[in-house]
Amino acid sequence: MMIMMEEEVIGILRSNGIDVVSTLPCGRIRRLLELVHSDIELKAIRLNKEEDGVGISAGAYLGGGKPAMIIQSSGLGNCFNALLSLSVTYRLPLPILSSWRGVHNEDIPAQIPFNKALPDALRALGIPYKEIRTREGIEAVDEVIKEAYENSSPCVALLSPAIWTGSDSEELEHAFPKRNKKRCVSYEKEIRDGEMTRYEAMRIVAEFLDGECVVTNIGIPSKELYAIRDRALNFYMLGSYGQASAIGLGLTLSTKREVIVLDGDGSLLTTSVLPTIAAEEPHNLSIFCMDNGTLGSTGDQLTDAYTVVDMELMAIAAGIENTVKVHTANELRYVLEHLYQHKGPRFIHVIVKPGNQDTDNIKLSPEQIKRRFMEACVTV
């Protein structure tokens, strides 16, 4: 029996030891995605936004896993900043198998302008890629994966729809589970002015740290934790706005350590990862949303969380069940003392004052942050 192209791709992923695959659908690779999500050797994560897959993949790799992404090529446009400021900056390998729209029998005009220019865009950004236009060229997927891991960089396989010709007849049937869920929410909370600064709240969290992996939001929050308590198990983000909790989720896929994310209201308002976290149910993940209602690293401009959005309620709406809101140092200490009495994911909404602590820059290079974090993460 002839092996279909999709099975061949799955075999290439397996032979390279890929164990975490983040996906976002494309109609031209329906069968491939069905196989990925039904493969018991692959941990497949359904994304709501392609950029979150870059963060999840980064976390999975930092924890000792071997990730890849499978997305539509148009979604690469949503990933460029994260790929450059996270994957490239920290030298994190990430093979991306991309269904290349706009180049073969394309019937959607909106797919053509971006995808026609995509190879030029990848070249301009210095992201290596290979064009795979025929069935005979499918072995280049193996080359893309190997290049990504040998060079510690992203590498893209642009897969023309032409290579899947003949697969539709054997497309897998959808097996939909019963959509039987019940939610009963009674919620009445008050958000008052914060009594702590973010620095003071993070200093309290740092007191309780033992063997947890910690991911800190970009900019000043990372500098503040570095000043409070630098440790090898801290991953300081230098870029990739909105990816802190995605990195945290990725870490939980590859480590049994407890993972703490020190995120912010602005960062979480820009991401689509909370529903993904709720769906994956990582038991070892705690997200501390340090909500000062502003974009602290760019001049304290107000976010919607200051006037309208309740971040805890947003987490509940996403499907996270274990949530709590704190305003004071004593409340935060109580939560930390009892943090592991319930399985994650946990969402701790910490109301803090606007403002930043005057701290020095982090005196570590991206490679040093990555290397010592990974070494500490695998040490028992």
Cα–Cα distance between 264 and 124 in angstroms, integer? 32
Q: What is the pLDDT of residue 185?
A: 86
Residue type, 111: Q
User: DSSP of 162-188, one letter per residue?
Assistant: GGGTT-GGGPPPP-PPP----------
pLDDT at 170 over 60: no
Instruction: Determine contact, residues 49/271, Cβ cutoff 8 Å.
Output: yes
Listed in sequence order, the residues at least 6 apart from 15 whose beta carbon sits closer than 8 Å to its beta carbon are 142
pLDDT band at 169 (very low <50, low <70, confident <90, very high): very low
Backbone φ and ψ for 310, nearest 5 degrees, come out as -95, 110
Closest listed residue to residue 240, CA positions, set 74, 64, 39, 94: 94
* Domains (range + CATH), the chain: 5-169 (3.40.50.970), 196-378 (3.40.50.970)
Q: Give the position of tokens 């992203």.
A: 154
pLDDT at 171 over 60: no
pLDDT at 361 over 80: yes
Beta strands in 75-143 (DSSP E): 94-99, 129-132
User: DSSP of 182-216, one letter per residue?
Assistant: -------------SEEHHHHHHHHHHT-SS-EEEE
pLDDT (tens digit per residue) in 17-34: 999 999 999 999 999 999
Q: What is the pLDDT of residue 73?
A: 97
Closest listed residue to residue 250, CA positions, set 3, 71, 20, 34: 20
pLDDT band at 1 (very low <50, low <70, confident <90, very high): very low
CA dihedral sign of residues 29, 32, 35, 40 = negative
Adjacent-strand bridge partners of 129: 156
Does the pTM of the predicted model rise above 0.75?
yes
Q: What is the pLDDT of residue 167?
A: 60
The pLDDT mean for the chain works out to 94
Q: Give the position of tokens 């450059």.
A: 84
Instruction: Determine contact, residues 290/352, Cβ cutoff 8 Å.
Output: yes
pLDDT band at 173 (very low <50, low <70, confident <90, very high): low
Q: For residue 332, what are its two tokens?
A: 């935060």
pLDDT band at 184 (very low <50, low <70, confident <90, very high): confident
Least confident segment among 86-95, 102-111, 212-221, 325-334: 102-111
Greatest distance between any 2 Cα atoms in the chain: 69
Cα–Cα distance between 335 and 372 in angstroms, integer? 29
Cα–Cα distance between 75 and 70 in angstroms, integer? 10
